[in-house]
Amino acid sequence: MEVKDILESVRNGGISVDEAEKYLRRQPFEEMGFAKLDTHRELRSGFPEVIYCAGKPDAYLVSIFRKMYEKNGEVFGTRASEAQYELVRRELPQVQYDSVSKILKIEQDSEEKAAKRIGKIAVCTAGTADIPVAEEAAQTAEYFGSCVNRVYDVGVSGLHRLLAHTETIQEANCVVAVAGMEGALASVIGGLVSNPVIAVPTSIGYGASMHGLSALLTMINSCANGIAVVNIDNGYGAGYMATQINRLAERV
């Protein structure tokens, strides 16, 4: 329950002042021994805590998923495997898994949430192989309440494909440019739009791409203005930042 909900409940007589005080006095995290769930993160930042699933021991992951679901009624996890999905599904049958983005989630009233999404974010990829990272960005932004347009496979080897979607990317409050190989897509988009571009280098490419390092360096050294760069393959970070920008734009 958010602070606004608590205050509304007090005003409407749903809960007493003493009950509200007890809730607000709770420590801002849930102690689980092996994890401390940041239950007040959404109050501070506007975004609830998200689970990074890769590498977590099975029992820990299931316990964390269950506890966060009990607290919030929904939960969002990134970089989950098929095996982790099956594991969590035994405990929480309503959990959903996307094998492309590796996102594992339980979402409340997904259709109602979709109808309330705001603004516009464009998520673009240089190639089809970049889509898993792009989908992590797109689905993160959608989960956090943003409208997303996907513009996939518009890399610089066929520039006309990108130019056919110029209107879409120019209308967006923020553009996420996802590219491996030499990572030039972000620079091209940066020269076409007036709003921020978040560049996401991916580990896609042959030997000299150095698992995304070449794309990362290209994006950092871009001559186009208004480009910020996240870590290699960090679709989640891009989706989060794009949502922050989108929310700010929609306040104006």
pLDDT single digits (tens) 59-82: 999 998 988 888 888 899 999 999
Residues of the chain with CATH 3.40.50.1970: 112-251
Spatial distance between the Cα atoms of 17 and 6, rounded to a whole number of angstroms: 9
- Give 11's pLDDT tier (boundaries 50, 70, 90): confident
Give every CB contact of residue 28 below 8 A, 6+ residues apart in sequence: 38, 39, 40
Q: How far apart (Å, rounded) are the C-alpha atoms in residues 164 and 209?
A: 28
Instruction: Flag whether pLDDT at 252 surpasses 60.
Output: no
Q: Is the pLDDT of residue 23 over 60?
A: yes
Answer yes or no: CATH 3.40.50.1970 is held by domain 112-251: yes
- Percentage of residues in the chain having pLDDT higher than 90: 69
Look up residue 103 and give its two tokens: 């996102």
pLDDT value, residue 15: 82
Question: Could you read off the pLDDT of 111-155 as tens digits, one per residue?
Answer: 778 788 999 999 999 999 999 999 999 999 999 999 999 999 999
30 close to 39: Cβ distance less than 8 angstroms: yes
Q: Please name the residue ranges forming H helices in 129-193.
A: 131-143, 159-163, 166-171, 185-190
User: From the CA atom positions of the chain, what is the Rg in Å?
Assistant: 20
Burial of residue 17 (CB within 10 Å: 0-12, 13-18, 19+) is exposed
